[in-house]
Structure 1
Amino acid sequence: MFALVLLFLNAVTLTLGLDNGLALTPPMGWLDWERFRCNIDCVNDPENCIGELLFKQTADRMASDGWLDAGYEYLIVDDCWEAESRDSDGRLYADPTRFPGGMKALADYVHSQGLKFGVHQDFGHETCSHYPGSEFYLQTDAQTFADWGVDFVKMDGCNSDLGDMDYGYPAFGMFLNKTGRPMIYSCEWPFYQSVKHFKIPDYAAVRRTCNTWRTNKDIQDSWDSLLQTIQFQDQDQGNFSQYAGPGGWNDPDMLILGNFGLSPDMERTQMAMWGILAAPLLMSTDLQNIRNSSKALLQNRRLIAINQDKMGVQGKKIMTVGPVDVWTRPLLPTGSVGIVFFHSDVLTHGFHYPRITTVQAQALGLTASQGYNLVDPFDGSSKGTVKPSDSIKVRVNPTGVIMYVATPAS
């Protein structure tokens, strides 16, 4: 594949994924993988299997239960939707038993609810679950997705050659653009290079090619996985944080809150940190049965506004005070700052208890002499006004966060 792709790229002018004008803020939507995996038993579990019913019911919920109004507009079908082979023309098609109407009809249904439609594919010869991959079919698959009315393509990297990625992922982005249909291009390219093969990716090239890109391994429904994901963003190997901005975003993976593994404090932590990180907000939970508290967090407009800030600067950790990490992110209006105090103490270490942390305001970047109004975005409450020389004192629960938005006082 490497030689064919290289020959092709030498022969054409490459149109990059970023040129599609999409993802000016981090994409928001729903993705089935973490919650529903590759459950294909539609005989015994029809409402939870990877089939037409699950996605239609989820589309209904997204349209009627406030998700679309809050900004969650993409419904994305992950792995295991395909038939076990391509058709006689070499085109992908959905498993005819689980998706009797086919993918074009499902996309039409999703669009009829005011949503946008996404699909998963794989850069290798097979997907991670051993369905047909896109190797040698990049152009065909791009056109197939356009013909179906796809709006978002997640391109995985299982069963592929690492040496092909630096050429093949840009080639697929070019083929997507050549269809003339705007499609967000979500790449797992850097994840396979950095985590699977210990190679620092060329993030500048990734940024030129993709609208979002996975930086680390799949998130699981547990505190350990969430903490490891946040720590990976903190390590920032290859300085990938500098490449985030309108049109292209680092993706630490799905929102798992609303499932089984996180406490209320942990759920608040993920929502706050995905806001500070300017991460795609792609839920993976059962919208038919989600807890009211989790739904309220996911639909909190103040938290969403931090994530969707149009300046598009990814936040970073600026200090650690005992077990409490302090993260900040510049926001609009100019001079505003999002602040998270995150109690990252691992539960297995023992002696975990709420910690009182005190930080001078100017150490958080709050340097304007007129001071700043502090608001807690979780409940909208005012925390008063602070001057640069004032101290901010917080009490943070283990695995929890305190979050503020500081806006220059008038």
Structure 2
Amino acid sequence: MTATMKLVSSVRRLGCVLAFCFLALFLWGLPVARALDNGLAMTPTMGWLHWERFMCNVNCQEEPDSCVSEKLFLQIAEIMASDGWKDVGYEYLCIDDCWMAPERDSEGRLQADSKRFPGGIRRLANYVHSKGLKLGIYADVGNKTCAGFPGSFGYYDIDAETFADWGVDLLKFDGCYCDSIKHLADGYKHMSLALNRTGRSIVYSCEWPLYMWPIFKPNYTEIREYCNHWRNFADVYDSWQSIRSILDWTTSNQERIVPVAGPGGWNDPDMLVIGNFGLSRDQQITQMALWAIMAAPLLMSNDLRHISLEAKALLQDKDVIAINQDPLGKQGYRLRKVQ
């Protein structure tokens, strides 16, 4: 059975179960806008991100195995390298919010929490690189991160230089605590240019349109010129209702967002929650299949130390991943809806 046949078969199994059904998905044939000129993310980014599964758990004293810490990332890096994840394309190990110390250092630089990351980010990056993987990190365009740690406003250049010096390979740049839409847009542009000036190859993951939508319609042509992928909708949670709301929003706005996606710049519907607790087997198949068809970044958020063989096989399905990683980079869209 071909990759396409296997994918269509997985989706059709769910056709009578879902309240909405993607009867067919086709490739949008319009030319894409100019992409960020950093030569990165020519296919959708693949990797692991801590947020949905581990959130902002900083209580390492009572929960040492599930807090946001150096220990967690060292363990996940080891598993990604040794248990087939890297081999099928999951190469970015990404830190989300809550890694920072509450204050910058005496030179104005961000610093990791010294108790939870005793070796600092540079040592963690060196270890991740030694496993043939790449390290992602999190910061915020505003005055504070969403969890209240130091934001990058007023520090874009120094933060970009710090990340490059540490050996970071991807930056997820959030949009909390901005004073205005101008602050938001200017900040995202400034950081994009600052990252490129470092000379290091750093994938730039933005949340720019997500924070614009409540007030203004984003200019996706402009966003694509500065970002490698961009979040459009609210955070995913470990539930079918969350997955469905993302799919509903995506299809409702597909005429705006699908044409702009392609090599170097992708619509990001947020993390894969396969291997957690909230989705049935068929719902997990649906998320994997549709994220692949939508040319979405495949960033898992789960506990790879305790994942079922069934979920692992789905996430590592080479035929489905091949759909996602097609070099042509055309995002699928919904042709019609069956009640």
2:204–2:227 Cα contact (<8 Å) kept: yes
Task: Trace 1:159-170 onto structure 2 (pairs within 5 A).
Answer: 159-161=177-179, 162-170=181-189
8 Å contact 1:17–1:174 — kept in the other structure?
A: no
Residue 154 of structure 2: which of 127, 131, 136 is its match? Answer: 136
Q: Once the 2 structures are TM-superposed, how far is the Cα of residue 243 of structure 1 from its aligned partner?
A: 0.6
Deviation, 1:45, is 1.1
Indicate the residue corresponding to 1:38 in structure 2. 56
1:18 corresponds to which residue? Answer: 36
Preserved CA contact (<8 Å) 1:189 1:214:
yes
Shift of 1:198: 3.5
Secondary structure (helix, strand or coil) at the match of 1:139 reads: helix
What's the offset of the Cα at 1:141?
0.2
Alpha-carbon offset, residue 34 of structure 1: 0.1
Give the equivalent residue in structure 2 for 1:291: 308
- Map of 1:318 onto structure 2: 335
Mapped pair 1:273 → 2:290 = yes
Query: Which residue number in structure 2 is paired with residue 186 of structure 1?
Result: 205
Asked whether the 8 Å contact 2:254–2:333 carries over to 1, the reply is no
* Cα separation, 2, equivalents of 1:83 and 1:42: 14
1:123 aligned onto 2:138: no
Match of 1:149 in 2: 167
Higher relative contact order (CA 8 A, sep 6+): 2
**Alpha-carbon separation, structure 2, partners of 1:103 and 1:47:** 19
Structure 1: distance between partners of 2:52 and 2:138:
13
Deviation at 1:320, TM superposition (A): 2.0
- Provide, for residues 44-96 of structure 1, a one-character-per-residue CA deviation record: whole Å limited to 9, x for no partner: 11111000000000000000010000100000000000000000000001000
Aligned to 1:234: 251
Question: What TM-score, normalized by structure 2, do the two folds share?
Answer: 0.89
The answer as to whether partners of 1:200 and 1:237 remain within 8 angstroms in 2 is no
Alpha-carbon spacing, 1:119–1:203, altered in 2? closer, same or farther (3 Å): same
Alpha-carbon deviations, 1:200-240, whole Å to 9, x = none?
Answer: 10100000000000011101110000000011110116711
Counterpart of 1:47 (choices 60, 65, 75) is 65
- Residue in 2 aligned with 1:101? 119
Task: Report the 3-state secondary structure (helix = DSSP H, G, I; strand = E; otherwise coil) of the residue aligned with 2:235.
Answer: coil
Amino acid across the alignment from 1:182: S
After the TM superposition, list the runs of 4 or more consecutive aligned residues in structure 1 that deviate by more than 3 angstroms: none
Richer in strand (by share): 1
- Any residues of structure 2 matched to 1:14-93 within 5 Å, and which? 18-93=36-111
Q: 2:190 aligns with which of 171, 190, 210?
A: 171
Does the CA-based 8 Å contact 2:35-2:265 persist in structure 1? Answer: no
Q: Deviations over 1:243-264 (max 9, x none)?
A: 1000000000000111010000
| Distance in 2 between residues matched to 1:96 and 1:220, nearest whole Å | 29
Residue pair 2:172, 2:206 contacting (<8 A) in 1 also: yes
SS at match of 1:72: coil
Take 1:109 and 1:270, find their aligned partners in 2: how far apart are those partners?
Answer: 31
Matches within 5 A, 1:347-362: none
2:35·2:263 contact (CA, 8 Å) conserved in 1? no
Matched residues in 2 for 1:316 and 1:69: separation? 29
User: Aligned partners of 2:331, 2:130: CA distance in 1, in Å?
Assistant: 34
Distance 1:270 1:233, change over 3 A: same
Question: What is the root-mean-square deviation of aligned Cα atoms in Å?
Answer: 1.1
CA separation in 1, counterparts of 2:88 and 2:63?
Answer: 30
Inter-partner Cα distance in structure 1 for 2:329 and 2:249: 20
Deviations 1:269-326 (A, max 9, x none): 00000011000000000000001111000000000000001110110000123x3xxx
> For the residues of structure 2 that align with 1:155 and 1:181, how far apart are their CA atoms?
17
TM-score (norm 1): 0.73
Q: How many residues align?
A: 305
Question: 1:163, 1:207 → 2: CA distance?
Answer: 17
Shift of 1:165: 2.0
Q: Specify every segment of 5 or more residues in structure 2 that has no aligned partner in the other structure, as ranges.
A: 1-33
Match of 1:404 in 2: none
Q: Which amino acid aligns with 2:203?
A: I
- Secondary structure (helix, strand or coil) at the match of 1:23 reads coil
C-alpha deviation, 1:168, in angstroms: 1.7
Q: How far, CA to CA, are the matches of 1:87 and 1:175 in structure 2?
A: 20
Contact 2:35 2:226 in 1 (8 A): yes
Which residue of 2 is the match for residue 247 of structure 1? 264
Cα distance change, pair 203–131 in 1 and its aligned pair in 2 (3 A): same
Aligned equivalents of 2:315, 2:254: Cα separation in 1: 29
Show structure 1 runs of 5+ residues with no match. 1-15, 324-410
